[in-house]
Structure 1
């Protein structure tokens, strides 16, 4: 069978792999079957996306005004060009002509305005509403193919923002006419259109004959949700699936040894981490947070749980992003220091819970964390949640320690730090309930700073402050291993 290659470009934000899909080397006949792992696909309307899997898979059907090329540089998408005016807050975008939605409706500036307004309006359902709402003041269609965006203050990274989660262009006519049904019957401008949808199981895309750009090389793409790790491997080995996204860490070495498959390790902008609930005891006390950080052996977790397929970091900026400061390091493993801090805080018999989603890797992580923290006298109880109930629980603040993550859909560290750490960010991104005026002030500086060197220093300052506060620990950036037939 001919090799099938999947290119992952930069993706979005709340949970764990944030990369849009495009096929570039699939055979001219037959279906390409892609296994995306355990996270179910439930929502097909961009403003209702609740996982990176939904965002990534639906990138086959939806496009944005700007995009990332294979070198992670901003490139034209549905906008051919853009410029910022002298006032530094007004952007003018020239849109591509001859583009149609998959129902035949023309794409134009009014359609672009409609979609951005859906995200920034106060009652928007989009998880990206806080970022877009605090970034964009207004959107206007100057004529059929000229769009004007005014930002709330100087926003150097607007093109990056438009390329990521929240920038998808859906067909306004279909959104209006279908209402709730649009969440099951998507319509965008992308190279593939949905043909069949079985929630939590599979989604089938067919090549869109009216696509404005280069046609997809595979007539159909079948995306499957396969929760069990062993079932995923069996499906790939037997040929039931052709591409596996997010290869489980403990299966990487097995697949590397098999000459029938190739593994591609893509640079990741995703991250996962443990957040403490700072709004409740005992983690409103920094000493307790730092004690847990010292009780955890990060290097041991990287080896035993992830088989070396993650990169640890601290402070909230992934190693793949500009502004990453390698001198900001995780707390070292030090059981004696952990016990000392717990004594000082009056928490020698600390009992805490650790919440995580129903994922085989996280199940193993919970077991290792439980054993490691026990050495410091901490009684850690794992709490395993179904994915559908997990985010509402985080928003309610019903946890003490929780595993969460997201990808940087914009490629710019400001948006990661803004979502994760700004005191006014909503509880589904700032799940730690973190508040630090110095961080908020520095984020304001990063937002409008156009000089790269000064901006990098400000980013480093935020990561240092946050690492010292220890509101989040065990930051991990996964290696995006993709397996496919050789």
Structure 2
């Protein structure tokens, strides 16, 4: 499928989208999957599916979480108004059956699906949608979450939500916002039960209640989360009776468990093990183009990284090709931009920083560090798709920087603490990455590099990079509907970002996972989220 087919497009005239949910006949094993989840019929119903990943969720409230381990949990419990199709970032109806947008692009009206109930038996309706929006956006709301991960982004420019009738809801925007509809498919807009939120209060993150395909049973922290099938799910019950999401921190141990048959699906595979999986007749190695970027973020508010020459020197000091060859098993590409080349708007004309120790040293000398400098390089202690072997990659970067006279002490924390400290701007320089949430360039460039998102305590812009020129381009791109015009604006922004060098982009990794052949209908989504309600077990 070409890029234009994979990316959700927005049409600004008044539109009406209506999709009927009809189950297709059962497909034979190995047949191509439909782009609609509902066409992926179960070849067999029943059993317990076990999926394993590298860390515990931070929580199970979709309005709070930002990390991928949590997202894989909440995406199987909560529905959104619209959803991504099974194999792309295009959107289709979900809790909303249809929607219209006004000619001035300021009013979006959704017709909601009737007869849907939350897992606690209470009805889903327009009042629930309004409650979910206000819970996240009104700080004095009595049930405001402990932290709000994405609301500033997902509901950008939304000034209010009106209940028109029981199954009609109207969203009022202060200015046009091109990514609005794709944002409503993101996990962070999952609709939670108002009744359950009121019941559990600040502990809702430990007692998730949604409308999705799986219902929460238990969370044994640092071990597993158990779910049971929602047999009344509006899109058809899940294929399995139970889902267990296990926490297995070590990639090798996770693979051993799958080889033994105690785990069906894993994410986080060491590249040296790719051929081992391919040689095993019971296993499948899944690979596909990724929507991610791994990078080194430099805190532009902290010396010496407040000096652009130092940041550029870091870029010259890194041999990206050797990193990809050594640690990504041939399924990644060196990065030169924050945006991956799989997303429209990628600035291919940008000239990558070449690997040059001499240029790095020259820039350091110009910045007053002729004898080098000492700093810290933070690294996360959990493998991610964009960081396949974190400690080894950190050590390799440490060695490369050392050749240029940059002595970097390695520092790490557990995943949740690491993210919290980065949001607070406590690091001087950190290895981190991002997996696209919706296939739109805004989700990388605005979310990660705009000054609006450089607020300590909730920053996604870990570099605390604050360019007025970039901000103007990104806001303009949000307010025009023509994709070609938006692409040009994003390309201009990337040229400025490349010059200012708040990051040292490292790699765009392919999405990689592995599974046992008896786990049928499995697809690792382009957004690297693991939806599991249409996986069925052949034995």
State the TM-score, normalized to the length of structure 2: 0.83
Q: CA deviation at 1:448?
A: 0.8
Q: Secondary structure at the match of 1:60?
A: coil
**CA shift in 2, pair 1:208/1:165, >3 Å:** closer
Matching of residue 438 in structure 1 with residue 473 in structure 2: no
Q: Which region of structure 1 is more displaced relative to structure 2, 434-443 or 156-165? A: 156-165
* 1:345 equivalent in alignment to 2:340: no
Q: Given that residues 421 and 434 in structure 1 are in contact (C-alpha distance below 8 angstroms), is that contact kept between their aligned partners in structure 2?
A: yes
- In 1, the alpha carbon distance for the partners of 2:172 and 2:61 equals 25
Partner of 1:87: 104
1:216 is matched with 238
Equivalent residue for 1:158, pick from 176, 180, 201: 180
Counterpart in the other structure of 1:455: 486
Q: CA deviation at 1:166?
A: 1.9
Query: Residue 23 of structure 1: CA displacement?
Result: 8.8
How far apart are residue 133 of structure 1 and its match? 4.8
Picking from 101, 112, 122, the partner of 2:129 is 112
Quote the RMSD (CA, aligned, Å): 2.3
CA offset at residue 25 of structure 1? Answer: 5.7
Asked if the contact 2:215–2:228 (Cα under 8 Å) also holds between the matched residues in 1, the reply is yes
**2:275 equivalent to 1:253:** yes
**SS in structure 1 at match of 2:211:** coil
Q: CA deviation at 1:3?
A: 8.3
Aligned residues: 472
**SS of aligned partner of 1:484:** strand
User: How far apart are the structure 1 equivalents of 2:346 and 2:48?
Assistant: 40
- 2:299 is aligned, of 257, 277, 300, to 277
Could you give the per-residue CA deviations for residues 163-185 of structure 1, whole angstroms, max 9, x where no partner exists?
11321001111111221232211
Contact 2:155 2:180 survives alignment (8 Å): no
Structure 2: runs of 5 or more not aligned: 1-27, 384-388, 518-539
> Using the alignment, how far apart are the partners of 1:291 and 1:482 within structure 2?
35
DSSP-derived class of the 2:451 partner: coil
User: 2: distance between equivalents of 1:244 and 1:389?
Assistant: 24
Query: Contact (CA 8 Å) 2:58, 2:67: kept in 1 or not?
Result: no
1:171 and 2:193 are equivalent in the alignment: yes
Counterpart contact for 2:76–2:213, Cα < 8 Å: yes
Q: Which residue of 2 aligns with 1:15?
A: none
Q: 1:67 deviation in Å?
A: 0.8
Say whether residues 1:44 and 2:75 are aligned partners.
no
Cα distance in 2 between the residues matched to 1:23 and 1:307: 31
Question: After the TM superposition, which residues 31-430 of structure 1 pair with which residues of structure 2 at under 5 Å, given as runs?
Answer: 31-36=48-53, 38-69=54-85, 70-122=87-139, 124=144, 125-348=147-370, 349-359=372-382, 361-425=389-453, 426-427=455-456, 428-430=459-461
Residues 413-440 of structure 1: CA deviation (Å, up to 9, x unaligned): 1132111111121343011010111101
Question: 1:36-92 CA deviation, whole Å, 9 max, x = no partner?
Answer: 2x2212311122214121112221110100111023311111111111112321111
* Partner Cα distance (1:406, 1:109) in 2: 33
Q: Secondary structure at the match of 2:190?
A: coil
- Displacement of 1:127: 0.9
Deviation at 1:130, TM superposition (A): 2.1
Distance 1:378 1:247 in 2: 31
CA distance in 1, matches of 2:195, 2:152: 25
Query: 1:275 is paired with a residue of what secondary structure?
Result: strand
- Rounded to whole Å, the distance in 2 between the matches of 1:216 and 1:262 is 22
2 CA distance for matches of 1:482 and 1:395? 28
CA distance in 2, matches of 1:83, 1:312: 41
* Change in CA separation of 1:24 and 1:204 when aligned onto 2, cut-off 3 Å: farther
State the TM-score, normalized to the length of structure 1.
0.92
Q: Is the 8 A contact 1:313 1:328 kept in 2?
A: no
Aligned residue for 2:378, secondary structure, equals strand
Using the TM superposition, give the Cα deviation of residue 257 of structure 1 relative to its aligned residue in structure 2, in angstroms: 2.6
Give the Cα–Cα distance (whole angstroms) in 2 for the partners of residues 46 and 311 of structure 1: 31
Q: Structure 1 CA distance, aligned partners of 2:353 and 2:59?
A: 38
